[in-house]
Structure 1
Amino acid sequence: GDYTDFYSSRQHATNVGIMFRGKENALMPNWLHLPVGYHGRASSVVVSGTPIRRPVGQTKPDNDKPPVFGACKRLDIELEMAFFVGPGNKYGEPIAISRAHEHIFGMVLMNDWSARDIQKWEYVPLGPFLSKSLGTTISPWVVTMEALMPFVLPNPVQDPKPLPYLQDKEPYTFDIKLFVAIKGEGMSTPTTICRSNFKHMYWTMKQQLAHHSINGCNLRPGDLLASGTISGPEPESFGSMLELSWNGTKEIPLGSGQSRKFLQDGDEVILTG
C-alpha cells in the first residue's frame, strides 16, 4: 500500500514553529483548519529490528557558504502511531467522516527516522524528501481497533470548529501510553527519554481519513497513515530529540555519563506502547 504521514500534534507543531519561526508565528495559518500531511515513501517502511543506516546528503551548516555533502549529523527519531486502511474507497468517492471508522483496520507503533540537517536545507518549498525516506520503522504486530475501543476517549475540543466534512461527535481519541528509550553503545540498560500519550493528538484518525479522501483520492487496503510526531504539554512528553534537545541547545541525559542531542552510531531506539 501507499504511505501518508500527517502532522497532527498541536504541541509538536507549536514547538517546531517556535524553534524556527518564533512564538508569534508558531502555527501556520492552515494548521487549525485541516490535518496537514504529505505523501511518504512506502518502499522504505521496514519492520522493527531492521538496521537503519545513517544517511548522507546535502546540508547547509553555514548560511554564508555553499551546501556540503556528507553524513547526516542530526539523525532523529519521531514517536508516532499509524493505522492501516481496511476496506478502501472507489476513485472519486470520498469517505464520509461518519463512516471513516469502517475503513480503519488497526494500529502500529512507528518511528519515522528524520535527518534534521538534510531536512532543513531541502524542505522549501515542497516539504521533506530524502530527510524522511531514509527509513520508517513499524512494529511487527497490528492491534485491531476493536481491541483498542476500551481505551477510547472524547475527541479534543477544536477551536475554531473545523468545516462540516471534518466535524465528528463520536469519540475516536485513544488513551495509549507511549515511551521512547535509547540504549547507547556500552550501556547495560536503555534509558527512557520520552513519556507521551496518543491522546495528545489534535486531529483524529477519522478526520485524517476523511480529509485524505475528500478530493476523491482512492485509498486501498493496506495503505498506511501515520499520526505525525506525538508530543504532549510537558517537556518529557516531547516525541522527538529535536524537541527534547530544543534544536540541539541542550543535552538529553542517558545516565552512565552519556548524553545526546541527536542519535549516535550504534544507538538502539526502543518504542513501547
Structure 2
Amino acid sequence: MPESWLDLEPDAEFGLATLPYGVFSTDAEGTDRRTGVAIGAHVLDLGAAAHAVGAPFADLVQGPSLDTLMGAGRPVWDQVRRALQTWLTDPAHEETVRPHLVERSSVRLHLPFTVADYVDFYASEHHASNVGRIFRPEQEPLTPNWKHLPIGYHGRAGTVVVSGTEVVRPSGQRKPPGADAPTFGASARLDIEAEVGFVVGTPSPLGEPVPVDSFAEHVFGVFLLNDWSSRDLQAWEYVPLGPFLGKSFATSVSPWIVPVAALEPARVEQPAQDPEPLPYLKGAEPWGLDLQLEVHLNGHRVARPPFSAMYWTAAQQLAHMTVNGACLRTGDVFASGTVSGPDPEQRGCLLELTWSGKDPITLPDGTERTFLEDGDEVTITATAPGAEGATVHFGQVHGRILPAR
C-alpha cells in the first residue's frame, strides 16, 4: 500500500488500512454535523473533499449522517474507499484535500447513522456455556437449540447511544433468591457486555431471505458495542420471554464504523460446528473475524476477549435473522452478543469474570468489583489484522455510570 503524504506514524491508530467513517462537528452545539473519515490524528470532511475533487459520489457523502452513503450499496462503498486511498496517497491531490482535514482532537463525534432496528445475538459458546453453568449448575450449560441456530432478541433502537454518553443506572423490579415477592429499586448488579456490532446498508425486500454469502453486499460496516445489562432486573423478567428492561436502558456504540472491506485480511475460519448447521446457515466462504478486544474498567484492563472464537458468524446471524422473510432496512444494527474466549481473562462481562459475584476483581487502587458501581468507567477497544501487515483499529466505546434517578 502506498504511503500517505500525511506522513503517518507506522502505528497510527487510523491508518490507510482502516479509514473508518463517522459523523463529526466542530461547533460547541454540535449543529454542523458532517460525514468524516478518520486518518491518523485527523478527520477528513468527506463531503467537502469530494466536492473539491469533483467526485461523482459527492452528494452521497454530504449529509449529517452516514444514512445516504450506507443505502447506496456495495459498488458505491468500494468506489468511495478507492477514492479515499488515492486522495490520501497521491501527492497530486494534496493541495485540494489537505484544507479539508481537521484535527481529530478538536472535533465532537456523534451517533453516525439512524438506527432503524436493533437485534442482539448470543453467539459465543464460551459465554453461553459459562452463563449456563452459573445459572443452571445441575443441568447442561447450553440449551438444546443453541448449536442449531443463532439465538437472539430484539432490542430497543431508541436507546442506542454514541460512545461517551453517560449511562444512568436503571431501576426496576428485582426479586432476590429466597425472597417471597419482588421489590422496586436501582439495579445492584449492573454489568457490561463487550460485543461487536454490524450495520446494514443495502436493504432487502420483505419475504426474501438473505443468504449467508450475501453478507458483504448488505452490511456496510463493523463497530464496537457495549450492551449494558442489569443482571438482577433481567433475572426476574426474562422468564418466559427474552431480555426487556434489563437491557433496553442503554446500548453504547463506538463512533467510527470500519468498512467491511477493511476486514478482508482479518477473515478466518470459525470454530468447528457440530452438529452441522442446516443448509441456509452454510456459506461458501469463511466469515469468522480475527478481532482482539480489550475491556478496561476505570483504566485497568480486565479482559481480552477474542472474536475469532465466536461459534456463530455475523453472516450466519444475518441469514438467520432474515430466513423467515423479515426485511432489512438501512441502519439495521445487529450485534454479536458477549465476546468470550476459553480462558478466564478472555471473558467479556463481569457476570463471567467474577462468576456472578463470587470472585471479585481487585483493581489497582485496592478496591474490588463484582458489578459496576456509580462513577465507574468502562472502555472497550479492538484491533484486527489489516492489509499488508497493517493494523485495523476500531477506536473505542466508552461510558460512565451515573446514579439512578
The separation in 2 between residues aligned to 1:272 and 1:108, in whole angstroms, is 10
Q: Which residue of 1 aligns with 2:130?
A: 15
CA–CA separation in structure 2 for the residues paired with 1:19 and 1:214: 32
Opposite residue 161 of structure 1, the aligned amino acid is: E
Q: Report the CA distance between 1:134 and its aligned residue.
A: 0.9
Whether 2:144 is the aligned partner of 1:29: answer: yes
Equivalent position SS for 2:304: strand
Q: 2:191 aligns with which of 76, 83, 89?
A: 76
What is the letter of the counterpart of residue 336 of structure 2? Answer: S
Give the whole-Å Cα distance in 2 for the aligned partners of 1:16 and 1:150: 32
Name structure 2 gaps, 5 residues minimum: 1-115, 383-405
Question: Which moved further from structure 2: 74-83 or 98-107?
Answer: 98-107
Partner residue of 1:263? 372
User: What is aligned with 1:156?
Assistant: 271
Q: Distance in 1 between matches of 2:138 and 2:211?
A: 35
Structure 1 runs of 4+ with >6 Å offset: none
Contact 1:17 1:23 in 2 (8 A): no
Aligned partners of 1:60 and 1:121 also within 8 Å: yes
Superposition deviation, residue 116 in structure 1 = 0.3
Aligned to 2:314: 205
Given the alignment, which residue of 33, 36, 60 partners 2:175?
Answer: 60
Aligned length: 267
Match of 1:186 in 2: none
Does the 8 A contact of 1:96 with 1:210 survive in 2?
A: yes
- 2:286 & 2:184 partners in 1: Cα distance? 48
What is the percent sequence identity of the aligned residues? Answer: 54
The answer to whether the 8 Å contact 1:155/1:169 transfers is no
* SS of equivalent to 2:345: helix
Match of 2:207 among 72, 86, 92: 92
Paired residue type of 1:239: G
Q: Which secondary structure does the structure 2 equivalent of 1:243 belong to?
A: helix
Give the alignment of 1:134-153 within 5 angstroms.
Answer: 134-153=249-268
Cα distance in 1 between the residues matched to 2:136 and 2:125: 15
TM-aligned CA deviation for residue 197 of structure 1: 1.4
Q: Is the 8 A contact 1:251 1:261 kept in 2?
A: yes
Q: TM-score, normalised by structure 1?
A: 0.96
Structure 1: runs of 5 or more not aligned: 184-189
For 2:274 and 2:355, the matched residues in 1 are separated by 27
Q: CA deviation at 1:62?
A: 4.0
Query: Offset at 1:23?
Result: 5.9
Output the amino acid matched with 2:190: L
User: Equivalent residue for 1:234?
Assistant: 343
1 or 2 for the larger relative contact order (CA 8 Å, sep ≥6)? 1
Question: For the pair shown, which has the larger CA radius of gyration, 1 or 2?
Answer: 2
The TM-score, its normalising length taken from structure 2, stands at 0.65
Equivalent position of 1:224 in the other structure: 333
Per the alignment, residue 302 of structure 2 pairs with 193
SS across alignment from 2:328: coil
1:44 maps to what in 2?
A: 159
Q: Distance in 2 between matches of 1:110 and 1:99?
A: 23
Say whether the 8 Å CA contact 2:173–2:233 is kept in structure 1: yes
Name the Cα RMSD after superposition: 0.9
AA aligned opposite 2:234? Q
Distance in 2 of aligned mates of 1:155 and 1:236: 21
